[in-house]
Each structure stands twice: as C-alpha cells, then as structure tokens.
C-alpha cells in the first residue's frame, strides 16, 4: 500500500533516528536527490532536526491490563504545531503529563534539548487562588519569577554587603536578559488581549469568575514565549472571539506547540502536524486535521477496493494530495506554517476505526401544553448584570439555543431553572408533564467518590425503572462505549471525555422529554459530538442548549433566545438566520451598550 520507499532512505532513516514523515516529505519532493546525495542530504536534515526538540523514547505505560502506550517513539521539532488527536480515553492528557514529567511512564524517557523552557496550561483552576491575577501570569516563567524574588530579598536586607551587591548585579543582568523589565507590562497586555480587563489584574484569583480563571491560566502558559508549549483542550471555556485570538496567536508561534483538541476548526487553523493517539501508539502525520481525516477515510476505501490495481490506487492518492495542498495553501494559516502543508504525504495513514457512541434520549411520555414559564428573571454577580427581564414560555416542538455575550449568563440561567442557584428577582414554573435531564457545565462534583462505573450509574436509576439489573445498566454504559472491564473502572480516574459520557448515560437513564445542555461538546471526541448532535436532532422532546459548536447550534435549534443586561431577544429562526438578521444586529448593539 502507498508509495514504495527507496531502500537507501529507509536505511538513512534508521541510522539518523529521524522522524519518519520528514524523510518521506523529501522522498516525495526529490527522491532522485536523496538517492544521489544521501550523505549531504542526511547531514542537513539531521542538523535541522537536532535544533530545538523534544523526544519521547520507548514510552510504555499500562494501567492494569489496559496498555495506553507501547514503545512510543516520537520527536517534536521547533516551528511545528502538533494537534494531538484521539478518542476519549485514548491517552492524550496522559501523554502530555508524561512529557511534562507529571506522570512517570513504566518504561522509557523524555529528552529535551538543553536550555529549553516548557510551559503547560494548568487544568486546576484553584491552584493559584491566593495569588493575584498578574502574578499568576508572571509565575508562568518560573526562572523569571525566582530571579525577581531572589533579587527583591537581597534589596530588602538591612545589612547589604558587597557580596550582596555582586549577586544583585548578576540577578539584574539575568533578569534583563529574560525581558524582566517589560514582564509586567507584557503580562498585562497579554491578559487584556485575552479579555481580562485591567481592573481585574490585581484581584486575587479566588475572587474572579471561573471563566476568567481559564483565560488567566492560558496567559500564564503563553507568557514569555516558551520553547515548548503544551495545551490540553485550551478552547474549553473560551468564547468564540477568544478562540479566534488564540488561533491567530498559535498560527504565528515560532516554537513547538502540542495541543490536544477535539475542535476541528481550531485544529485546522493552527496545526502543521497531527499526532494521532490510537491503539497504544502515537503516529505523527504532516498536515492539518482535515487532511488526516480525509486521507484516512480515503485509505479505508482504497483498502476495501480490492479490484483496483496498486498503481491506480497510488495515482488516486497522489491526486488527492495535490488537490489538498492547493486548497490548504489558500487557507488562513500563517506563511511559515503553510510550508508544511506543501509537503504533504499520505503514507502510513491508517483507516480510522473510531467508534460512535449511541446517544438517544427516549421520553417516557410526551410533553403537555405547559412546559416552562419564565417571568421577569434577573441576575447580577459582583455588581455586573448578567441578564434582566427574562420572560418567555416554551411551546411543543421547540429546540431553543441560548446565547449571551457574557459567558456566565446562560450557565447561571440554566442553574437557576435547575434550582442550583437563585435568581435576584422573578420566577419560573415547570409543567407537570416535564421530566428534565440536565448536563451542567462542570461535572467534577459528580466524580469525587471512588465508585466503579456500574455503582456510579446505579445511583441515578429513576423510580419508574423497576428492573435495573446489571445487564440493563451495562446496556446504557455500552451505548457510551464502556464495555468489558471498563465497567469496574473507578470513576475518579476517568478522562475528561469519559466523564461527560457518564453524565450522558445518566441523562439517558431518566427517559427525559426535555434536555438542558450547557456546552455539550466540551471534552467530547469528534465521534461523540457527531452522535450527540444527531441524537438532539431526532429527539422528539424539548431541547435547551448553549454551545460554542456552531454546527450543533445551527442544526438543532429552531428558536434563539439571547440573554442581555437589558432584556432578551427572542426569535423563531435558525442560528445562522439570527446571526445574519440586520434588525437583530441593531438590537444586539443597543442591548449590550
């Protein structure tokens, strides 16, 4: 299958320990040169490779019988942005933690070129509660932070010796070299471009809303241009504008970026390479997500097509690459990054064998005429009005998309109608025929106990189900792709996406006729997102949803409600129609001003 490799390059690849795909790129472009001048070619490539690099060598890790990584070997090179993809639970977060040294593999090691600085996007939102916002960002550059403190300690001394003076001088020099004198203002502007306004920069982390914490932690990771940047699902919790900002930032970034994401648009905008975590291995391919996806689909069709001769297949693949490269170079990727897309090769892309979970909500009964009445609800936090004068009622057949410029507004509204918090004024009333199932934005509180998956789900069996035996529960978990030994797994070790799948199993178990979804695509892999999206489209009940996923909003909703500090905008139309409507545009400007 695929294009045959010249023998010599295969040998060269082994002896130089180079990344496979890089040699292939050259094979494709100029195989004759590689053949004729193997040594010169090799030294050049090898030299280039040695510059700024992080490598994984023979990484092996297993949890019980489950082998997450089996002898994984890869190099990551300066200038490239690697999109780390794979199904929920494949091991993406674990791999990033191995790279950063937070998890020790059973075997193997990580090599980093000396002097390289690595920065990681922290997941724990509470870690910096006692620090100011600005200091949290500065701490992202560990050495800079240390030098600042050592220096200040010396200056604070009452008996300042000559030796102290020398030391202080050295520290000042190092501080200056690291850009220390501009550090605060750089950190400040980074925060501001991420939408964290200046008046918050001196606040303590514990006092700012959680959606801002995410941005501060992002600023911390990006601060001071680290040589290696590790980001695990950075777009979760960001609004569309900030995601756009991050896309531009990363597309121009000249160092190594490894980013785990399930957001197809985000991956396509930033990635030069795809690192696919599957079947205990990690394979790196040149190209963005769409290239990887389309070529793996094409590959599986080619494999099944037994009638076609090898030569014909090869030609079809080459045509595909040519077409894709031409389109890719028109994309909005930064020029330096675009170059990678001119060197695409399809070799060794394997057909995708990802599985789709079954997300189907089956209502026990139809909704009656009374569904939900909301009257004059309002809510403020810290003196900021999230929404006001929210009044509406829901009719049969409605699937409503909620939005707001304030990222807290819809989440608060959903929490209020689910009795998780109280409104400042107003009231709401549910119809008696309604059985609702709610997917909250955060789910950590559900997974603190060390229960097994089976025990966990059993807690949520509703009263109307009288025969919830093990096979019944297994059925629900199986639909969400938990099978065999998975069921005995403890819920506190689950991956982000696995937790969401548990929450969805819990919802399906309720047989709801109304579902409330706060960012349903967060953490889910692309296959799950697609199933979830289809499940909501065919669901005969009522849907209340808010999502950063454009497709989800557009394909599910037939009514749009926008929550603003001056009341609501309420339209019976699709999401795209709403966004393009000129009257709505005017209204939006008025109501947020």
Ligand X SMILES: Nc1ncnc2c1ncn2[C@@H]1O[C@H](COP(=O)(O)OP(=O)(O)OP(=O)(O)O)[C@@H](O)[C@H]1O
* Contacts to ligand X by CB under 6 A: 63, 68, 86, 88-94, 489, 493-498, 523, 525
**Closest CB 354 distance from ligand X, rounded Å:** 12
Using CB under 5 A as the binding rule, whether residue 234 contacts Mg ion is answered as no
Q: Measured from the CB atom, is 435 or 495 closer to ligand X? A: 495
Cα-Cα-Cα-Cα dihedral sign, residues 476, 480, 481, 483: negative
Tokens at 342, concatenated: 């001119």
Sequence-ordered list of residues with C-beta below 8 angstroms from that of 307, at least 6 positions apart, any chain: none
Q: Where are the alpha helices (DSSP H) in 379-495?
A: 409-417, 453-458, 470-479
**Closest CB 368 distance from ligand X, rounded Å:** 38
Number of residues that bind Mg ion (CB under 5 A): 3
Q: Measured from the CB atom, is 196 or 453 closer to ligand X? A: 453
Using CB under 5 A as the binding rule, whether residue 496 contacts Mg ion is answered as yes
Question: CA 68, CA 92: separation in Å to the nearest integer?
Answer: 10
With CB under 5 to 8 Å by kind, the binding choice for 286 among Mg ion, ligand X, none is none
CB atoms within 10 A of CB 198: 12
Question: CA 329, CA 335: separation in Å to the nearest integer?
Answer: 9
CA dist 61 → 57, 72, 83 (Å):
12, 9, 21
Using CB under 5 A as the binding rule, whether residue 235 contacts Mg ion is answered as no
Q: Which stretch binds Mg ion (CB under 5 A): 91-99, 118-126, 279-287, 322-330?
A: 91-99
With beta carbons less than 8 A apart as the criterion, state whether 552 and 584 touch: no
CB atoms within 10 A of CB 311: 8
Using CB under 5 A as the binding rule, whether residue 93 contacts Mg ion is answered as yes
CB atoms within 10 A of CB 346: 28
**Closest CB 189 distance from Mg ion, rounded Å:** 30
Q: Measured from the CB atom, is 373 or 452 closer to ligand X? A: 452
Q: Measured from the CB atom, is 415 or 498 closer to ligand X? A: 498
With CB under 5 to 8 Å by kind, the binding choice for 90 among Mg ion, ligand X, none is ligand X
**Closest CB 486 distance from ligand X, rounded Å:** 8
**Closest CB 95 distance from ligand X, rounded Å:** 7
Closest CA relative to residue 503, chosen from 476, 530, 526, 485? 476
In 166-255, the DSSP E strands lie at 228-232
With CB under 5 to 8 Å by kind, the binding choice for 494 among Mg ion, ligand X, none is ligand X
Q: Which stretch binds Mg ion (CB under 5 A): 137-145, 399-407, 487-495, 566-574?
A: 487-495
The three-class DSSP label of residue 514 is strand
CB atoms within 10 A of CB 151: 19
Using CB under 5 A as the binding rule, whether residue 296 contacts Mg ion is answered as no
The full DSSP string for 346-364 is -TTPPPP-----------S
With CB under 5 to 8 Å by kind, the binding choice for 217 among ligand X, Mg ion, none is none
Q: Measured from the CB atom, is 93 or 404 closer to ligand X? A: 93
Q: Measured from the CB atom, is 90 or 187 closer to ligand X? A: 90
Using CB under 5 A as the binding rule, whether residue 91 contacts Mg ion is answered as no
**Closest CB 121 distance from Mg ion, rounded Å:** 12
CB atoms within 10 A of CB 169: 11
In the complex, residue closest to Mg ion by CB: 93
Tokens at 298, concatenated: 């094409």
Q: Measured from the CB atom, is 169 or 450 closer to ligand X? A: 450
| Sheet of 384-393, strands arranged across | 384-393, 372-381, 425-430
Using CB under 5 A as the binding rule, whether residue 522 contacts Mg ion is answered as no
Q: Which stretch binds Mg ion (CB under 5 A): 20-28, 87-95, 306-314, 365-373?
A: 87-95
Q: Measured from the CB atom, is 319 or 485 closer to ligand X? A: 485
**Closest CB 182 distance from ligand X, rounded Å:** 36
Q: Which stretch binds Mg ion (CB under 5 A): 477-485, 492-500, 525-533, 581-589?
A: 492-500
Q: Measured from the CB atom, is 96 or 200 closer to Mg ion? A: 96
With beta carbons less than 8 A apart as the criterion, state whether 508 and 361 touch: yes
Q: Measured from the CB atom, is 66 or 157 closer to ligand X? A: 66
**Closest CB 65 distance from ligand X, rounded Å:** 10
With CB under 5 to 8 Å by kind, the binding choice for 592 among Mg ion, ligand X, none is none
With beta carbons less than 8 A apart as the criterion, state whether 268 and 100 touch: no
Q: Which helix (DSSP H) or strand (DSSP E) does residue 403 occupy? A: strand 399-403
Burial letters 43-68, b for 16+ CB under 10 A, else e: eebeeebeebbbbbbebebeeeeeeb
Question: CA 399, CA 387: separation in Å to the nearest integer?
Answer: 21
**Closest CB 271 distance from ligand X, rounded Å:** 17
Question: CA 231, CA 260: separation in Å to the nearest integer?
Answer: 6
Using CB under 5 A as the binding rule, whether residue 80 contacts Mg ion is answered as no
Torsion from C-alpha of 548, 549, 553, 555, nearest 10 degrees? 180
Q: Measured from the CB atom, is 68 or 417 closer to ligand X? A: 68
In the complex, residue closest to ligand X by CB: 497
Q: Measured from the CB atom, is 429 or 442 closer to ligand X? A: 442
Sequence-ordered list of residues with C-beta below 8 angstroms from that of 282, at least 6 positions apart, any chain: 56, 69, 72, 74, 95, 275, 276
**Closest CB 176 distance from ligand X, rounded Å:** 40
With CB under 5 to 8 Å by kind, the binding choice for 493 among ligand X, Mg ion, none is ligand X
With beta carbons less than 8 A apart as the criterion, state whether 215 and 104 touch: no
Q: Which stretch binds Mg ion (CB under 5 A): 213-221, 408-416, 496-504, 574-582?
A: 496-504
Q: Which stretch binds Mg ion (CB under 5 A): 284-292, 338-346, 397-405, 490-498?
A: 490-498
- Which residues of the chain form contacts with Mg ion (CB under 5 A)? 93, 495-496
């Amino acid at each position: 299958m695929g294009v045959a490799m010249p023998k010599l390059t295969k040998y060269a690849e082994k002896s130089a320990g180079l990344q496979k795909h890089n040699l292939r790129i050259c094979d494709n472009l100029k195989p004759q040169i590689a053949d004729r001048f193997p040594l010169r070619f090799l030294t050049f490539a090898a030299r280039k490779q040695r510059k700024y690099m992080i490598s994984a060598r023979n990484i092996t890790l297993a949890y019980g019988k489950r082998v997450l990584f089996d002898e994984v070997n890869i190099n990551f090179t300066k200038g490239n942005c690697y999109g780390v993809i794979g199904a929920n639970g494949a091991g993406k977060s674990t791999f990033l933690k191995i790279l950063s040294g937070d998890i020790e593999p059973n075997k193997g090691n990580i090599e980093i070129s000396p002097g390289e600085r690595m920065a990681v996007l922290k997941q724990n939102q509470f870690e910096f509660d006692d620090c100011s916002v600005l200091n949290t960002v500065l701490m992202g550059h560990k050495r800079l932070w240390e030098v600042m403190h050592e220096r200040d300690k010396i200056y604070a001394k009452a008996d300042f010796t000559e030796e102290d003076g020398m030391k202080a001088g050295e520290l000042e020099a190092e501080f200056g070299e690291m850009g220390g004198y501009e550090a605060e203002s750089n950190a400040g502007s980074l925060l501001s471009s991420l939408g964290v306004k200046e008046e918050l920069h001196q606040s303590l982390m514990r006092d700012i809303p959680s959606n801002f914490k995410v941005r501060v932690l992002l600023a911390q990771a990006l601060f001071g241009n680290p040589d290696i940047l590790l980001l695990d699902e950075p777009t979760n919790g960001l609004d569309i504008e900030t995601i756009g900002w991050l896309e531009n930032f990363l597309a121009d970034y000249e160092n190594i970026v490894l980013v785990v994401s399930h957001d197809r648009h985000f991956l396509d905008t930033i990635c030069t390479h795809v690192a696919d975590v599957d079947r205990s291995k990690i394979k790196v391919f040149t190209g963005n997500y769409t290239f990887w996806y389309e070529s793996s689909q094409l590959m599986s069709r080619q494999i099944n097509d037994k009638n076609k001769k090898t030569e014909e297949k090869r030609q079809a693949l080459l045509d595909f690459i040519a077409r894709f490269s031409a389109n890719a170079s028109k994309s909005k990727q930064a020029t330096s990054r675009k170059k990678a897309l001119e060197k695409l090769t399809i070799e060794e892309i394997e057909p995708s064998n990802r599985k789709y979970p079954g997300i189907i909500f089956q209502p026990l009964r139809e909704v009656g005429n009374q569904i939900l009445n909301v009257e004059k609800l309002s809510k403020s936090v810290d003196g900021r009005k999230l929404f006001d004068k929210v009044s509406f009622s829901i009719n049969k057949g409605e699937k409503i998309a909620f939005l707001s410029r304030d990222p807290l507004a819809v989440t608060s509204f959903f929490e209020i109608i689910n009795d998780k918090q109280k409104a400042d004024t107003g009231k709401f009333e549910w119809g008696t025929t309604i059985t609702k199932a709610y997917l909250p934005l955060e789910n950590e509180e559900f997974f603190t106990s060390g229960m097994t998956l089976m025990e966990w789900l059993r807690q949520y069996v509703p009263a109307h189900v009288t025969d919830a035996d093990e096979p019944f529960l297994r059925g629900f978990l199986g639909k969400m792709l938990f099978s065999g030994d998975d069921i005995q797994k403890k819920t506190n070790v689950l991956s982000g996406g696995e937790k969401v799948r548990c929450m969805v199993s819990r919802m399906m178990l309720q047989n709801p006729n109304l579902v409330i979804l706060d960012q349903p695509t967060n953490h889910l892999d692309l296959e799950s997102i697609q199933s979830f999206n289809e499940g909501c489209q065919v669901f005969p009940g009522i849907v209340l949803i808010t999502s950063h996923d454009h497709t989800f909003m557009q394909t599910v909703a037939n009514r749009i409600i926008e929550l603003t500090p001056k009341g609501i905008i309420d339209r019976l139309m699709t999401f795209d129609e709403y966004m393009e409507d000129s009257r709505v545009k005017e209204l939006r400007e008025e109501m947020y001003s």
